[in-house]
């Protein structure tokens, strides 16, 4: 299964990607996570990406695409993958399509997580991430009073780009650059919308129901 998750920042892509990828036994490939790992590791790629991420802008396509090409070439991605946060504009989508075509492959399905702006802002304002295992939590919805990860005990942190001003800009970037992907993939006839409101487990169930008809 070759799958892409699309949706605004805060829609729950990372959260759902954890469960969907594990249900389908495919790797979850999150470009945001790979960039953040490079930022904390102080690599050249991290240094370059950080200036764009801090502003809430997209990292340039050539850098992002090269990184995804390398990741998709790894052994664990040969029988399927779930992309979270890539592609993020039509140019990236076209290059992904061509890249897969060169390898004799194509995407099976694009799931759009649908949630309104107010909910997205509430979700982003309370998002916390585990510095050790990367798991995503929410201060209010997960009732996180301490700053510890329930899964591994690691310290939770708030992402720099989840500050209110940056969030506003990221939502604009989504509307301008990423939202056009929805009609692009509808045109390719591989788009399915999933209602991403309500409890996490219910959203996962809806996503798995949407995926089922496409499983071989």
Would you call 71 a catalytic residue per the annotation? no
3-state secondary structure of 59: coil
Catalytic residue among 122, 144, 159, 163: 159
| φ/ψ (deg, to 5) at 81 | -165, 160
Q: Which is nearer to ligand ADP, 104 or 177 (CB)?
A: 177
Pairing of strands 136-138, 127-130: antiparallel
Would you call 101 a catalytic residue per the annotation? no
Is residue 170 close enough to count as binding ligand ADP by CB under 6 A? yes
Distance (Å, whole) CA 156 – CA 142: 13
What Å distances lie between residue 136 and 14, 35, 114, 149, 161, CA to CA? Answer: 7, 16, 19, 9, 15
Is residue 127 close enough to count as binding ligand ADP by CB under 6 A? yes
Kindly identify the residues of this chain, within the stretch 22-61, that bind ligand ADP according to CB under 6 A.
Answer: 31-32, 35, 52-53, 56-59
Kindly identify the residues of this chain, within the stretch 61-80, that bind ligand ADP according to CB under 6 A.
Answer: 64
Residues touching ligand ADP: how many (CB under 6 A)?
34
Catalytic residue among 88, 123, 128, 206: 88
Nearest to 131 by CA among 148, 146, 145, 115: 148
Would you call 145 a catalytic residue per the annotation? no
Residue 185: CB minimum distance to ligand ADP, A: 15
Q: Is 133 annotated as a binding residue?
A: yes
Pairing of strands 109-114, 2-6: parallel
Residue 216: CB minimum distance to ligand ADP, A: 27
Lookup: tokens for 133: 């295992």
Q: What Rg, from alpha-carbon coordinates, does the chain have?
A: 17
Using CB atoms, what's the residue nearest to ligand ADP? 32
Would you call 212 a catalytic residue per the annotation? no
Nearest to 15 by CA among 193, 142, 147, 161: 142
Residue 192, strand partner residues: 111
What residues are designated binding site for ATP?
10-15, 127, 198
Residues that bind ligand ADP (CB under 6 A): 7, 9-15, 31-32, 35, 52-53, 56-59, 64, 85-86, 88, 92, 123, 126-127, 136-138, 141, 161, 170, 199-200, 203
């Amino acid at each position: 299964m070759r799958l892409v998750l699309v949706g605004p920042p805060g829609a729950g892509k990372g959260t759902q990607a954890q469960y969907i990828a594990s249900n389908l036994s495919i790797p979850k490939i999150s470009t945001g996570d790979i960039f953040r790992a490079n930022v904390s590791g102080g690599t050249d790629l991290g240094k370059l990406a950080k200036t764009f991420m801090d502003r809430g802008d997209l990292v340039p396509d050539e850098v992002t695409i090269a990184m995804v090409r390398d990741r998709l070439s790894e052994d664990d991605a040969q029988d399927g993958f779930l992309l979270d946060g890539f592609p993020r504009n039509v140019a990236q989508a076209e290059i992904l399509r061509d890249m897969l075509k060169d390898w004799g492959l194509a995407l099976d399905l694009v799931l759009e997580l649908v949630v309104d702006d107010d909910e997205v802002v509430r979700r982003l304002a309370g998002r916390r991430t585990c510095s050790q295992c990367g798991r995503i939590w929410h201060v209010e919805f997960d009732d996180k009073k301490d700053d510890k990860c329930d899964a591994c005990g690691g310290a939770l942190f708030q992402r720099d780009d989840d500050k209110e001003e940056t969030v506003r800009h990221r939502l604009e970037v989504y509307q301008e650059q990423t939202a056009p992907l929805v009609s692009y993939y509808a045109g390719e006839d591989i788009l399915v919308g999933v209602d991403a409101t309500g409890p996490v487990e219910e959203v996962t169930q809806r996503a798995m129901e949407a995926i089922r008809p496409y499983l071989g």
